[in-house]
Structure 1
Amino acid sequence: MADTKREIERKYEATTDARVPDLTRVRGVSRVVDTGTADLDAVYYDTPGLRLAAHSVTLRRRTGGDAGWHLKLPVAPGVRDEVHAPLDDHVPPALAALVRALTRGEDLVPAVRLRSSRDVRHLLDDGGGLLAELSTDTVHAERLTGDGGTARWTEIEVELADGGDPALLDAVDKRLRKAGVRPAAAPSKLARALEETGTPPPAARPAEHDTAGGHVLAYLREQADALLTHDIGLRRDHPDSVHRMRVATRRLRSAFRSHRKVLDREATDPVAAELKWLAAELGVDRDREVLDERLREALDAVPRTLRLGPVHARLDRWSAARRAGSRDRLLEILDGDRYLSLLDALDALLAGPPLRPAAAKSPRKALAKAVAKDQARVAARIRHALALDPGHDRDTALHEARKAAKRARYAAELAVPALGGPARRLVKDMKALQKLLGDHQDGVVAREALREIAVQANGAGESSFTWGLLHAREEARAADRERELPGLWAEARGLDG
C-alpha cells in the first residue's frame, strides 16, 4: 500500500569556497548533530521521451537509506508530495496508475542512476526535537539511455521536519546566503543529471504576450497543465480535484469558442467536443456532491418538529444509490483510450496551433473584441429570460444565461494580462452573476430531486410532508434569486465601465 509524505526543502550549490555556517545562530536551533554518512543508490524511471521529467515528476527505485519506490509530485516551488511504495523489482502498479495521464501507456524504463554519499546533520530545538535535516550530497550521475553520459557534483539540501514551520527554512536560507552558499540552479538532482548527461526533457514554452495568439496559447497551455495536475489529484482521491479538473476542461472549451478568430475551429471543434464529453463525465460526481450537500443543509435547517418520518435515513439511501460505483466508473474513464486520445489531441494542437491571421494582431484590440462579444451574449440571454413568465421556460433560459456568464468570465480571465483592471472587474462581475444564476439552477435541480425523494418516501409508507416543505422553500429561494437578478445585472460593468 502506497503512503504519502509532504516534502518541503531547499537545495544549494556546494562549491569549494562555500562553507556551511554555524546554524545554531538561527532562531530556534539549539544544536546541530552530525548523524554520519549514508550511501544511497537510486534508479530513476521515465518514458523514453522523458514525459515525467517534462512535468517535474520523478519516479525512483532507491536502495540504501529510505529504501523503496518514491514518486515525487510537484505541489509548489520547493514543495513536493512523495508517494512511497515498498521496494520491489518492478514499477508498482499503484504508482504507474497515478501518472497514466503523463505516460499515455508508454513503458516506464530506467533513465538515470544516481549514487550519492550523504553526510547528514540534524537541526534540533531545545528539547532535542528535529527541526530540519541538512545533508551534503556528493552525487555521481549515470545516464542509462542514449550515449550514457556521466556527471559529478556536490550539493546541500535542507529538508523541513514533518510538521515543521516553513519559516525556519527562510531563516536557514538567510544564514546560508550570508555565508556565500547559493541556491542550486536545478530544481532536483534528476533535472541536473538529465541536463549534464545528455538530452534534457522538452522545456515548457515561455508565455508569449506580444500578440493575441500568444495570449490565447499561454492560457490554453496553463489549462492543459491544470488538467493533468488535477488528473493526478483525482486518482489520489484529493478533495475538489474532480471539480477543478472539470473547470480546466470548461476553460479550454470556452477559449476555443471565444477565440475562433485566433484559432481555426476546424481543428479545435473536434477537441472541444471531446472536452465536452469529459466535462459531462466529471460532472456526474461533482453535481451529485453539490446536490447532496444542498439537500442535507436544507434538511438540517428544518425544525425537528417538522421532520416527519425517517427523513435522514431516506436521504442517505437515496444518495448512496446515486453514488454507487461512481469513483470506479470515473477511474475507468481516465484509464480508457478515449480520454488518453483526447490528451494526445490536445498536446498536438498546442504543439502545432492552427493560428488564423487575427492571431498576429495586437492583443488589446483582439481580446477586447472577443470579451465584448461574449458579454453581449450574456446581456441577450438575460433579457430573454426576464421577458418570460416564471416557470420551466424561464428556468431553462436562466441556465443558458449562466453558461454565457461563465464563458464571458473565462474570456475576461484570459484577457487580464493584456487588458488589466477592466478585465479583472469584468471577471468579478461575471463571477457574481454566475454565482446567483448557479444558485438558481441548483434550486431547479434540487426541486426535481425532492419530488423524486417524496415519491419514494410515499411509496414506502413514509410521510412526504418534510420533502414538500423543502420543495416550497426551494421555490421561494429561486424567486428571491430572480428578483435580485435585474439589480445585479444593472451593476455589472463592461470593459469600458
Structure 2
Amino acid sequence: MGIEIEEKFDVPPDYTIPDLSRLATVEGPKSYELVALYYDTADLRLAARGITLRRRRGGTDPGWHVKLPMGKDARQEITHPLTRSTKVVPQELADLVRAYTRGAELRVVADLTTRRSVTVLRDGDDRLVEIADDRVKGTKYGDDTVIVRWREVEAELLEGGTRELLAKVGKRLRKAGATPSPAASKLARLLEPAPPPVAATVPGSAGEVVIAYLAGQVQALLSQDPRVRRAEEDAVHQMRVASRRLRGTLKAFRSVVTNTDHVQDELRWIATVLGEARDLEVIRARFAGELRDLPPELVVGPVRNRLGHDLLERERQAYGRINEALSGERYYRLLDALDALVATPQLGKAAREPARDKLRDVAEANWRRVTKKYDIAMAVDDLRHREIAMHDVRKAAKRARYTAEALRPILGGRMKRLAKLAERVQEILGAHQDGVVAQETLLKEAEPARRAGEDTFTYGLLVGIERNAADRAYAEFPRVWKKTMKAARKVF
C-alpha cells in the first residue's frame, strides 16, 4: 500500500522531455510496455467516484491495483499479486470497493496498452521524482468498442522527493509545452464517466449550501469505507464522524431537506456499529498510557494483559461485526438512500430562501438549543440526574458545531468561531463522560480478575485516577461555560 502523489500533463505527439539535470541527477530513460485490464460495474460506479481497479502486466509493479482518491493529486494505492484469472477480481480487492459496487458484478470495461519511457531524478541513493512519458492505446468496451490513442506525461513524487521539487518539475514540463490534464487518470480520460448526480438548486439558496455539504460528507463516509475494512488507523473514527455530521445536518436543516427521519435512524445505526470498536480502541490506548505513567511497583498482577490483550480481542471482535455490517444489504440501502438524498432530495420551502439569512437563523437556533439544555440541566437538583442532563448539553453542542461547520463557506469567520465554541463545550463534557465510561470499564474488567484470585489494587488506583479526571472536567465546566457565553454574544 502507498500514497500516490503525481501531476498529469497532456502533450503533443512531438513533445520532448526538457532537460531536468539542474534539478537533480537524471537517470534513464528506460522503456516498458504495460498492458492493463480495468474492472468496473456496467454503469461505471467506480470510475464515477475516481476509483481505479486494474490488473496490469509489465513494468516494475505488475499485479492487481486499487487506487482510491485522497484529495487533489493524491491517491492511495493498494496492491495484490498477479493472478492467472482475468475474469475474477481477487476477493480482497473486490471487498474494498463494495461500498461502490453494492453487489453489482465487476467486469472488464476497458484495456490500456502503454509504451512507457521512464526518467528518474535522483540524489545519491534517494529516488526523488519519476517522469513517465506514455504513449497510450485505450480500448473501451460496451455497446460499441471504441479505440482512442494519445500521449501524456506523469510526474510522480517518490519516497525521497518533496512537493517543492515536484512543483519545479511540473513547471519545467509546462514551459516545454505540456498542459495540465483535466482527467484524473488514463481510465477517466478513456471512459469519461459522469460524476455522481447532485440536485439542481437555486444559486445562492439555502438548498444549494446544504446539499453541497451533504454531498461532501457522503463522499467522506464512502472514502473511509475501504480504510475501515482494512482496519487502518483512525478510519473508524473518521467514518463515524462523517455519519454523525450527516445526521446532525439533517436534523438541523430539516426545514431545508425534508422527510429524512429514516435516513437519520440508519445513520445512527451505522455510527453505533462503528462506535464499539472506536471506543475500545480509545480506551485501550488510554489505559496503556496511564499504566505506563505509573511507578512499576504500583502495577500489580497481570493488569496490563487484561487491559491490553483482553480489550484488543474485544476490539477485533467489534471489527468483525463492522465488516459484517458493511457487507450487508442494510448498509447498501443506506448508501443508496444517501445518494438519493444528494441527487433527488425532498426540499422544503426554506430551501429556496437566501442562504445567508436562512442558515444564520438555523445556526442561532441550534446555539439557543445548547443554552436551553444547559438551563434545564442546572434546574435539576439531583446530581446524578444532572450529569445525565449534561450529556444532552454535550449532544446539543455537537449538533451546533456541525451546523456551524456546514455554514462556514457562506458565513465565514463567525461560523468558525461558533464551531470552536461548541467544540470546547463538547470536549470538556466529553472529558467528563470519558472518565465515567473508563471507570465503568475498569470495574467490569476487575471482576474476572477478582474471580481468578488476582490482586486488583491497580484497578482501584486507575478508577481513582479516572474519577479525579472526570470530577476536574465537571468542576471546570462552569468557568468554561461563562467564558463561552461571553464569546458567543459577540458572534450573534
The TM-score range, normalised by the shorter chain, is over 0.9
Matched, 1:329 2:318: no
Matched, 1:92 2:85: no
Q: Deviations over 1:311-358 (max 9, x none)?
A: 323423542453352222211110011111111111122211100011
User: Is the CA contact (8 Å cut-off) linking 1:207 and 1:215 kept in structure 2?
Assistant: no
1:157 is aligned with what amino acid? E
User: Is the CA contact (8 Å cut-off) linking 2:199 and 2:211 kept in structure 1?
Assistant: no
More deviation, 223-232/326-335: 326-335
Classify 1:438/1:178 alpha carbon distance in 2 versus 1 (closer, same or farther; 3 Å).
same
Task: Determine the structure 2 residue equivalent to 1:30.
Answer: 25
Query: 1:236 Cα shift?
Result: 2.2
User: Is the CA contact (8 Å cut-off) linking 1:24 and 1:32 kept in structure 2?
Assistant: no
Task: Determine the structure 1 residue equivalent to 2:407.
Answer: 415
How much identity, in percent, do the aligned residues show? Answer: 44
Distance 2:139 2:445 in 1: 64
Task: Determine the structure 2 residue equivalent to 1:457.
Answer: 449
Matched, 1:21 2:15: no
Task: Determine the structure 2 residue equivalent to 1:70.
Answer: 65
Matched, 1:79 2:71: no
Task: Determine the structure 1 residue equivalent to 2:115.
Answer: 117
User: Is the CA contact (8 Å cut-off) linking 1:39 and 1:116 kept in structure 2?
Assistant: yes
Q: Deviations over 1:78-135 (max 9, x none)?
A: 222222222231211111100000111111111112122222233333x365333222
In the alignment, which of 205, 209, 215 is matched to residue 215 of structure 1? 209
In the alignment, which of 165, 168, 177 is matched to residue 165 of structure 2? 168
SS in 2 for 1:122: strand
Q: Deviations over 1:391-416 (max 9, x none)?
A: 43122112111111100100111111
1:235 is aligned with what amino acid? R
In the alignment, which of 167, 188, 191 is matched to residue 185 of structure 2? 188
SS in 2 for 1:220: helix
Query: 1:427 Cα shift?
Result: 0.4
Q: Which runs of 5+ in 2 are unaligned?
A: none
Classify 1:23/1:71 alpha carbon distance in 2 versus 1 (closer, same or farther; 3 Å).
same
1:202 is aligned with what amino acid? P
SS in 2 for 1:23: coil
SS in 2 for 1:494: helix
More deviation, 441-450/322-331: 322-331
Classify 1:469/1:150 alpha carbon distance in 2 versus 1 (closer, same or farther; 3 Å).
same
Trace 1:31-430 onto structure 2 (pairs within 5 A). Answer: 31-35=26-30, 37-65=31-59, 66-88=61-83, 89=85, 90-125=88-123, 127=124, 129-195=126-192, 200-202=193-195, 205=198, 210-264=204-258, 266=259, 268-316=260-308, 318-320=310-312, 322-389=314-381, 391-430=383-422
Distance 2:447 2:249 in 1: 42
Q: Deviations over 1:359-414 (max 9, x none)?
A: 00011121111111211111122223234357431221121111111001001111
Distance 2:393 2:164 in 1: 46
Distance 1:205 1:20 in 2: 40
Q: Deviations over 1:38-83 (max 9, x none)?
A: 2222121111111101111011122232332221112232222222
Q: Give TM-score scaled by structure 1 length.
A: 0.92
Query: 1:296 Cα shift?
Result: 2.7
Distance 1:179 1:263 in 2: 50
Query: 1:204 Cα shift?
Result: 5.7
Distance 1:15 1:123 in 2: 23
Query: 1:237 Cα shift?
Result: 1.9
Distance 2:274 2:158 in 1: 37
Task: Please list every run of at least 4 consecutive aligned residues from structure 1 whose deviation after the TM superposition is greater than 4 angstroms.
Answer: 203-209
SS in 1 for 2:294: coil
Distance 2:330 2:146 in 1: 38
Classify 1:491/1:207 alpha carbon distance in 2 versus 1 (closer, same or farther; 3 Å).
farther
2:115 is aligned with what amino acid? S
Distance 1:342 1:145 in 2: 29
SS in 1 for 2:57: strand
User: Is the CA contact (8 Å cut-off) linking 2:394 and 2:429 kept in structure 1?
Assistant: yes
Task: Determine the structure 2 residue equivalent to 1:491.
Answer: 483
Q: Which runs of 5+ in 1 are unaligned?
A: none
SS in 1 for 2:488: coil
User: Is the CA contact (8 Å cut-off) linking 1:426 and 1:495 kept in structure 2?
Assistant: no
Distance 2:382 2:295 in 1: 29
1:121 is aligned with what amino acid? T
Trace 1:428-439 onto structure 2 (pairs within 5 A). Answer: 428-439=420-431
Distance 1:293 1:381 in 2: 32
User: Is the CA contact (8 Å cut-off) linking 1:47 and 1:109 kept in structure 2?
Assistant: yes
Q: Deviations over 1:405-442 (max 9, x none)?
A: 10010011111112111111010111111110000001
Classify 1:117/1:465 alpha carbon distance in 2 versus 1 (closer, same or farther; 3 Å).
closer
User: Is the CA contact (8 Å cut-off) linking 2:198 and 2:343 kept in structure 1?
Assistant: no
2:67 is aligned with what amino acid? K
Classify 1:83/1:469 alpha carbon distance in 2 versus 1 (closer, same or farther; 3 Å).
closer
Distance 1:491 1:406 in 2: 18
SS in 2 for 1:24: coil
Distance 1:317 1:416 in 2: 43
Distance 2:79 2:191 in 1: 23
How many residues align? The count is: 484
Distance 1:376 1:190 in 2: 50
Task: Determine the structure 2 residue equivalent to 1:9.
Answer: 6
Classify 1:203/1:251 alpha carbon distance in 2 versus 1 (closer, same or farther; 3 Å).
closer
Task: Determine the structure 1 residue equivalent to 2:433.
Answer: 441
Q: Give TM-score scaled by structure 2 length.
A: 0.93
